[in-house]
Amino acid sequence: MKKAMIHNKIKRIIYEELWSWFLFLLNWIPGRIGAYLRGTFLSLFFGKKGLRCKIKENVEIWKPKNLFIGNNCVIGRGNVLNCEGMLYLGNNVEIGPYVSIYTINHTTIISGMKSKLKTVEPVLIGNNVWIGTHSIILPGVTIGDNTIVAAGSVVTHSFGDDNVIAGVPAINIKNKVNNE
């Protein structure tokens, strides 16, 4: 039993080192060529990767094996994708620059920081979703198909299909947009 645990730990360390080196070497290649190279080679570490995905410069992805990407996705520059609790991106998802998506939260003040408890929850993003620059998506959130997340939004809870959401915290503003 102990030998298997050591073997698994060594495999995990090698995997994480390879990921770090691939990310370091590919992260600084500019332009379309760099985006396609990252989309091709970094995806070797993902849980699943669809066709024609582009990953822009300076993207930080934690636990890439828990990232599942559909077809025709674009991950903008400077993003932080924490995939510890699984991150699912549908088809035709475009994530603007400097977006943060988290699947893990630290303990609440009520339970105390010394306990170091963490909650891990998946994030699911549907098909045909656009996420604007500097948005933050928190653990446990589901964003339905055909949804726009306005720039600078903080998404703290789930939304269904066909929405336009904005604000801190984000709310559905589709009806407000259509009535004006």
| Average pLDDT of the segment spanning 8-26 | 83
Q: How far apart are CA 37 and CA 142, in angstroms?
A: 29
| Residue count of the chain | 180
In this model, does residue 178 exceed pLDDT 70? no
Alpha-helical (H) ranges within the chain are: 2-26, 31-41, 174-179
In tens, the pLDDT along 36-79 reads 888 888 888 888 989 989 999 999 999 999 999 999 999 999 99
Q: How far apart are CA 95 and CA 109, in angstroms?
A: 31
pTM for the structure as a whole: 0.86
b/e per residue 119-139 (b: at least 16 CB within 10 A)? eeebbbbbbbbbbbbebbbbb
Q: Which of 7, 106, 134, 157 is catalytic?
A: 106
Nearest to 41 by CA among 31, 28, 55, 30: 55
In tens, the pLDDT along 143-173 reads 999 999 999 999 999 999 999 999 999 999 9
Write down the pLDDT at residue 6: 79
Q: Is 134 a catalytic residue?
A: no
